[in-house]
Structure 1
Amino acid sequence: MDGGDFGPEQRERWRLDTLREYRIMDTGPEPAFDRVTKLVADLFEVPITLVSLVGDCRQWFKSAHGLGSTETPRDISFCDHVVVGEEAMVVTDARLDSRFAENPLVTGDPFIRFYAGVPLRAYNGAILGTLCIIDREPRPTLGFREMERLKDFATIIMAEADLRRIVAERDEARRTLERALDYSGIATWQLDTRIDALRWRGATAELWGADYATALQTSDAAFERIHPDDRAMVRAALDESMASGTPYAIEHRVLHPDRGVRWLGVRGDWDVRDDDAALTGVCIDVTEQKSRQENANLLMRELHHRMRNLFATVSAIISLTRHAARDVDDYVERISSRLDALNRAQNVLLGANFMTGSMHALMREVEAAFPRIRWSGPDLLLPENALVAMALVFNELATNAAKHGALTGENGLVEVSWSQDSEGTEPRLFRLNWAESGGATGVVPPARTSFGTLLMERSVKNNLGGTIERRWEPGGLIVDIALPARWREA
């Protein structure tokens, strides 16, 4: 942007914005500028030479040779005419110039008579001020060669100012990058392999410890902070990278003084300069990613184990149901019912963490399939094997109630309640009561032991280590189940 399409007000705002970019106003004296003003004063044989920067309401002197003041108001400034006119200006005798004859800088100290100023033009064309020479006596105008020489010195002044600006921008960019690294949790490092010297930036304290500046000055010192079990692996990777000149990449643990064992992901590559080689890289905390990966691996192993158990259970149900079924339709019905029970258990596990399931969630699944079942009791967290066993028990009891018991009648009802003995009771038991009432037909003990009965007893006794008792009373079937109280409340 060169400001050529701006109106006067926009152009002035653009010029002032450019001046602020240089971060030079109100800074201290600098030899680089003072040498130029002294040289110009000697060359042109004038008492005063100024590097004048024109702000919004004042002109300020970055270098003032032969003048004690550091600024003057802009409205009486000679240099403002150069800035506004955007070209060099020479005044041979200010007393005879209508623009300046009554100017306090002419009528009073420093009693300006002669003035010559050339623009200080920024990288984008904006004029920031002037390099000017001043005499207290009238002088003839400057020749072409003299003006060109003054402009050359103005160019030198701006080259120095641009160098300051670029350095300031670089430093600001570096500070911004370091802040970004701090906030991002990334540390940068550089290893000089000739003298084993480490340099750090960014979030090093967060990743390696607050004492890194003194404690981790060499690679040998850094190895002391790497987990002992990982040191040989890291050393081998570093030696391979140094021998082959290939990038360095590894994940390892560190013993952080404040945060304990942490995992770091480290990457580096070689920065070759002449005969010097330095390994430069970054490191980042990957502890959470490692933890998630380990949890995912654990979950996959757990799911594999659960699937094997589930397939084994399904296989056993299919095999035993085949022997108990009267015909194909009966076989399909029984298989479907028991697979539905397994599905209810899996729904509960999927709604939680795959490892435990809520007793209340299981009973809601049972109630959805058999609406006239009412239940009450504390919510308990059942492990997967217990949840599957209880789902099969409830399914067999509910299916039997729908075919032969309380749920055959419109007014039939099943009430399920459970509790756990208080802490300190020996033996401490989980007790569940299944009570049917209101069935359409009389309740009598079965003539033979069915597969459903065997499945319930196997689930309670073999899988859960408990007991199950059934009583066929006139009002309906009563079932009491007692198990070791191993489940905690949800």
Structure 2
Amino acid sequence: MADGGDRDRAQDEARRLRTLREYRIMDTAPEPAFDRVTKLVADLFDAPIALVSLVDDCRQWFKSSYGLDVAETHRDISFCQYAVNDERPVVVPDAREDARFAENPLVTGDPLIRFYAGVPLRAYNGAVLGTLCIIDREPRLSFGAREIERLEDFAAIIMAEADLRRTVIERDDARHMLERALDFSRIATWQFDAQTDALNWRGAVAELWGEDYETALSTGEGFFERLYPADRDAVRTVLGEAVETGSPYATEYRIEHPEKGVRWMAARADWDVRSNDAVLTGISVDITEQKSRQENDAVLMRELHHRMRNLFATVGAIISLTRHAATDVDDYVERISSRLDALNRAQNVLLGANFLTGSMHALMREVEAAFPRIRWSGPDLELPENALVAMALLFNELATNAVKHGALGGRDGRVDIEWTQDSEGDDRRFRLTWTESGGDALVVAPERTSFGTLLMERSVRNNLGGTIERRWEPGGLICIITLPAKWREA
């Protein structure tokens, strides 16, 4: 039970000290509100000394001291600690006759305490932070319940002032925290008085509106001067409707920021009624990046729509032309599947990038995955969508023919692809060489022009603006493609 009681006392003391720290009053400068009370108490009780004493873990410190020049004393020798520990008033008629204080240095020495009366200073949660006390250098044998009650009334006044002080500190802290949060969140708050045209700002105003906001944006007219000219009439209309009807205000507009140029803002506000006056209270948020993303998304959607139309047109052309070249249904399905696979390879490359361009190396990795005995080398280039699709179809036709009629049809056959691109000059050229070797059979030129050949020539000449040359050497096909060098390195 003793151990339990000690734990309870330790917890109570820890709670008391936490509460004392909440008030943030220790070691603060003298304040007239407290000094007036101690002077009044000293006069009322005809006491030479009156103190507002706050007790922490090791000392008692005097927030207000009337008649005593000492700022603090050690807790071990304080009279006030008894009122704090017992949480009730303490009256000592003659300290020399009290065993607790007879040898106390404050009794045997300065200030020569004989009489002491102290009542607890109770916080909002009941914790006792210290005392309001009076001290006399002469004994007082009559200090009854009426006197204690009066002293407690003054203690309540002291704590009311302390609580008001704490509330003001908490309010200021909350306001500071809110303003810092607004700064970090890039939000400006404002109030607009429609009758006086006054405009007041807080938060991240300098960042959003410019360093000169205090003078340039102190009125509604100053606000409109900063708006982008083309947006002023629309904003005036929205604001006018809100003022006339008392409805919420919400709009988006551009401003001319003195340091950052044109920026987009979103504003939201509602009416704050005070007596007979009403002010419009709201926030402004910079949405320039959001607007930029929306514009980029719109451009991207238009580009994707254009791409899809091109893709469907390409697929339609392949289906139509393949139908005339196929010998039967199975051959038709095989040819269509192969060419759609080539389109899929191009789409995979585009999806892995930005939808608009694709890497030459990424395309070659797709081709190599479909035809493992193809080897390639050359600089990585950034190909636009139409060029990437054309190159994908070109490589597919060459590789398919190599499997059916050329080097890739044999066990040891292979294909080497090399390309270069001139880096300077007005007539820069891209040159690619397709070389087949190691085939099992002798390679000869075909007797007739196939659809695949027509597709390759169309891809190179019509889509890419270049030339294609084919030579059927004994070791295999050699294909040389020359194009205008329009692609930049990836």
Fold agreement, TM-score > 0.5: yes
Is it true that 1:433 corresponds to 2:451 in the alignment? no
Q: Is the 8 A contact 1:90 1:141 kept in 2?
A: no
Tell me the residue number matched to 1:387: 388
Give, in angstroms, the shift of residue 307 of structure 1: 0.4
Tell me the residue number matched to 1:278: 279
Pairing 1:144-155 to 2, within 5 Å after superposition: 144-155=145-156
Tell me the residue number matched to 1:127: 128
- Distance (whole Å) between structure 2 residues aligned to residue 338 and residue 482 of structure 1: 23
- Distance (whole Å) between structure 2 residues aligned to residue 476 and residue 200 of structure 1: 79
Give, in angstroms, the shift of residue 215 of structure 1: 2.2
Q: Is the 8 A contact 1:420 1:430 kept in 2?
A: yes
Tell me the residue number matched to 2:489: 489
- Distance (whole Å) between structure 2 residues aligned to residue 23 and residue 217 of structure 1: 36
Tell me the residue number matched to 1:305: 306
Tell me the residue number matched to 1:9: 10
- Distance (whole Å) between structure 2 residues aligned to residue 407 and residue 230 of structure 1: 66
- Distance (whole Å) between structure 2 residues aligned to residue 373 and residue 55 of structure 1: 84
Tell me the residue number matched to 2:166: 165
- Distance (whole Å) between structure 2 residues aligned to residue 427 and residue 68 of structure 1: 97
Indicate the larger mover: 478-487 or 200-209.
200-209
- Distance (whole Å) between structure 2 residues aligned to residue 101 and residue 437 of structure 1: 116
Is it true that 1:30 corresponds to 2:35 in the alignment? no
Q: 2:64 is matched by which residue type in structure 1?
A: S
Q: Is the 8 A contact 1:59 1:71 kept in 2?
A: yes
- Distance (whole Å) between structure 1 residues aligned to residue 286 and residue 13 of structure 2: 49
Tell me the residue number matched to 1:464: 464
Pairing 1:173-184 to 2, within 5 Å after superposition: 173-184=174-185
Indicate the larger mover: 119-128 or 210-219.
210-219
Q: Is the 8 A contact 1:37 1:64 kept in 2?
A: yes
- Distance (whole Å) between structure 1 residues aligned to residue 166 and residue 422 of structure 2: 79
Percent identical among aligned pairs is 75
Give, in angstroms, the shift of residue 120 of structure 1: 0.6
- Distance (whole Å) between structure 2 residues aligned to residue 141 and residue 130 of structure 1: 20
Give, in angstroms, the shift of residue 395 of structure 1: 0.9
SS at match of 1:242: helix
Tell me the residue number matched to 2:449: 449
Indicate the larger mover: 426-435 or 311-320.
426-435
Pairing 1:45-444 to 2, within 5 Å after superposition: 45-424=46-425, 426-444=426-444
Give, in angstroms, the shift of residue 422 of structure 1: 3.5
- Distance (whole Å) between structure 1 residues aligned to residue 173 and residue 7 of structure 2: 29
- Distance (whole Å) between structure 1 residues aligned to residue 275 and residue 85 of structure 2: 50
- Distance (whole Å) between structure 2 residues aligned to residue 405 and residue 99 of structure 1: 114
- Distance (whole Å) between structure 1 residues aligned to residue 138 and residue 361 of structure 2: 104
Q: Is the 8 A contact 1:90 1:115 kept in 2?
A: yes
Q: 1:465 is matched by which residue type in structure 2?
A: G
SS at match of 1:148: helix
- Distance (whole Å) between structure 2 residues aligned to residue 165 and residue 266 of structure 1: 35
- Distance (whole Å) between structure 2 residues aligned to residue 387 and residue 355 of structure 1: 10
Unaligned stretches of 5+ in structure 2? Answer: none
Give, in angstroms, the shift of residue 108 of structure 1: 2.4
Q: 2:442 is matched by which residue type in structure 1?
A: G
- Distance (whole Å) between structure 2 residues aligned to residue 291 and residue 6 of structure 1: 62
SS at match of 2:138: coil
- Distance (whole Å) between structure 2 residues aligned to residue 372 and residue 432 of structure 1: 18
SS at match of 1:378: coil
- Distance (whole Å) between structure 1 residues aligned to residue 54 and residue 79 of structure 2: 12
- Distance (whole Å) between structure 1 residues aligned to residue 440 and residue 69 of structure 2: 116
Give, in angstroms, the shift of residue 6 of structure 1: 5.6
- Distance (whole Å) between structure 1 residues aligned to residue 469 and residue 326 of structure 2: 25
Q: Is the 8 A contact 1:91 1:141 kept in 2?
A: no
Per-residue displacement from partner, 1:97-123 (whole Å, max 9, x unpaired)?
222222222222222222111111111
Indicate the larger mover: 304-313 or 233-242.
233-242
Indicate the larger mover: 304-313 or 461-470.
461-470
Per-residue displacement from partner, 1:197-223 (whole Å, max 9, x unpaired)?
222211112211122222221122122
Aligned length: 486
Indicate the larger mover: 262-271 or 302-311.
262-271
Q: 1:431 is matched by which residue type in structure 2?
A: R
Indicate the larger mover: 318-327 or 280-289.
280-289
Per-residue displacement from partner, 1:434-454 (whole Å, max 9, x unpaired)?
122232332222222211111
- Distance (whole Å) between structure 2 residues aligned to residue 197 and residue 306 of structure 1: 53
SS at match of 1:344: helix
- Distance (whole Å) between structure 2 residues aligned to residue 184 and residue 84 of structure 1: 47
Tell me the residue number matched to 2:43: 42
Indicate the larger mover: 364-373 or 441-450.
441-450
Q: 1:57 is matched by which residue type in structure 2?
A: C
Per-residue displacement from partner, 1:137-168 (whole Å, max 9, x unpaired)?
22223222222111111111111111101111
Q: 1:391 to 1:80 in 2, by over 3 A?
A: same
Unaligned stretches of 5+ in structure 1? Answer: none
Q: Is the 8 A contact 1:406 1:439 kept in 2?
A: yes
